[in-house]
């Protein structure tokens, strides 16, 4: 009994299955669904699904708005697929890459009425798997029988729904000295979520006083900016400027949070970049993909700071959302320290949109 997977383990398995194109089964008081991620669906499994009966494509309200499909359920839309719907057409509904060349994909019929809590859970699962927020679903009348026959992961929706977006507890796995250009007296802490998710890092410079506000930065991972030196954003310069400021003061903590692309993952971030090349701004691109403006979870940063013994910060940020979340999570923000670096001709519009639509303070 002590070896069986717990709810978090089941959710990790479900995310992995969805990323590989394997369906999962969601059960709940409102029925049961067979769920497959539209992005990773293969022809064989798709054809098998369609042969079994009616299939819906569940999209977020954001994506439905772009497609001019009625989202009767508000945040999700259940698009009824025609019997002759091919996988390529379905995936074009999920992915906006070709919207400008082929804008008319309908008319699309959407369902109304009934319980759609499991549909919302399905969208949340694929989002947390860093996939496009679009799922193929089919009603099931013998969910456990099908799951047993096909060896599919079963997610108990009534138990999972309240927890799927909960922040997993973090374990401080290890810390070791790592001299860096900004400061030789630096330690790197590794924090691992108990749900098997991506690890997050804390760069501790010097020996900051736990009884005083620490100079801190919550920095979301940006492969293109931090590693490649992309000029489309200000992330790389912000990272380096924050570390330099901490080095000059002899103390500070930079949290490097693995929430690439405002929490949508690098692949979806590149999709957003491709849409920006078509003329959309960063917020519009996220919405066309089916995401919100910002999908990051800043509670992670507050939790790490508290685990390290800090209760108050001097926060290096231009983002009022970070300040608000720190305060809500019990980490006092004694001062906002502006971080205005990295403006280029290539990112001038991006920064203007962040100010106008996300309230960033430049």
- Three-class DSSP category at 355: helix
| Inter-CA distances, 91 with 95, 277, 290, Å | 6, 21, 13
Secondary element (H or E) of residue 110? none
* Beta carbons within 8 Å of 270's beta carbon, 6+ residues apart: none
- Three-class DSSP category at 161: coil
Max Cα–Cα distance, the chain, nearest Å = 66
Which phi and psi angles does 116 have, rounded to 5°? -120, 25
Nearest alpha carbon to residue 167 among 339, 307, 37, 66: 307
- Tally of CA atoms within 13 A in the half-sphere of 175 that contains its CB: 14
Overall residue count recorded for the chain in this entry: 362
Tell the burial category of 207 from Cβ atoms under 10 Å away from its Cβ (0-12, 13-18, 19+): exposed
d(CA 61, CA 108): 14
CB 296 within 8 A of CB 255: no
d(CA 324, CA 55): 42
Catalytic residue among 63, 78, 288, 296: 296
Q: List, in sequence order, every residue forming a beta bridge with 333; answer none if it has no partner.
A: 313
Peptide bond into 65 cis (omega under 30): no
Tell the burial category of 63 from Cβ atoms under 10 Å away from its Cβ (0-12, 13-18, 19+): buried
Catalytic residue among 294, 299, 314, 336: 294
Which phi and psi angles does 174 have, rounded to 5°? -165, 155
User: Does residue 294 have an active-site annotation?
Assistant: yes
User: Does residue 13 have an active-site annotation?
Assistant: no
Nearest alpha carbon to residue 214 among 342, 307, 305: 305
The catalytic residues are 294, 296
């Amino acid at each position: 009994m002590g070896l069986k997977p717990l709810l978090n383990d089941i959710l990790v398995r479900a995310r992995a299955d969805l990323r590989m194109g394997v369906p999962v089964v969601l059960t709940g008081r409102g029925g049961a669904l067979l769920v497959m991620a539209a992005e990773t669906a293969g022809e064989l499994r798709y054809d098998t699904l369609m042969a079994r009966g009616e299939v819906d494509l569940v999209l977020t309200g954001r994506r439905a708005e772009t497609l001019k499909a009625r989202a009767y359920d508000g945040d999700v839309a259940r698009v009824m697929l025609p019997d002759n719907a091919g996988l390529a057409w379905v995936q074009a509904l999920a992915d906006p890459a070709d919207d400008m060349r082929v804008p008319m994909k309908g008319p699309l019929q959407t369902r109304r009425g009934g319980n759609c809590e499991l549909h919302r859970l399905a969208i949340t699962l694929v989002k947390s798997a860093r996939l496009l927020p679009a799922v193929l679903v089919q009603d099931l009348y013998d969910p456990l029988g099908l799951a047993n026959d096909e060896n599919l992961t079963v997610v108990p929706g009534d138990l999972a729904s309240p927890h799927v977006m909960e922040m997993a507890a973090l374990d401080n796995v290890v810390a070791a000295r790592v001299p860096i250009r900004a400061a030789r007296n630096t330690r790197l802490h590794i924090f691992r979520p108990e749900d098997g998710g991506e690890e997050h890092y804390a760069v501790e410079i010097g020996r900051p006083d736990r009884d005083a506000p620490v100079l801190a930065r919550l920095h979301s991972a940006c492969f293109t900016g931090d590693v490649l030196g992309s000029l489309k954003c200000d992330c790389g310069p912000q990272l380096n400027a924050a570390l330099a400021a901490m080095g000059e003061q002899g103390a500070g903590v930079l949290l490097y949070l693995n929430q690439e692309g405002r929490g949508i993952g690098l692949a979806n971030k590149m999709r957003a970049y491709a849409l920006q090349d078509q003329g959309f701004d960063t917020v519009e691109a996220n919405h066309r993909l089916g995401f919100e403006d910002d999908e990051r979870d800043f509670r992670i940063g507050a939790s790490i700071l508290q685990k390290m013994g800090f209760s108050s910060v001097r926060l290096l940020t231009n983002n009022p959302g970070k300040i608000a979340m720190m305060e809500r999570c019990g980490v006092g923000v004694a001062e906002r320290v502006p971080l205005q670096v990295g403006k280029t001709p290539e990112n001038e519009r991006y920064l203007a949109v962040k100010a106008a639509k996300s309230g960033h303070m430049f």
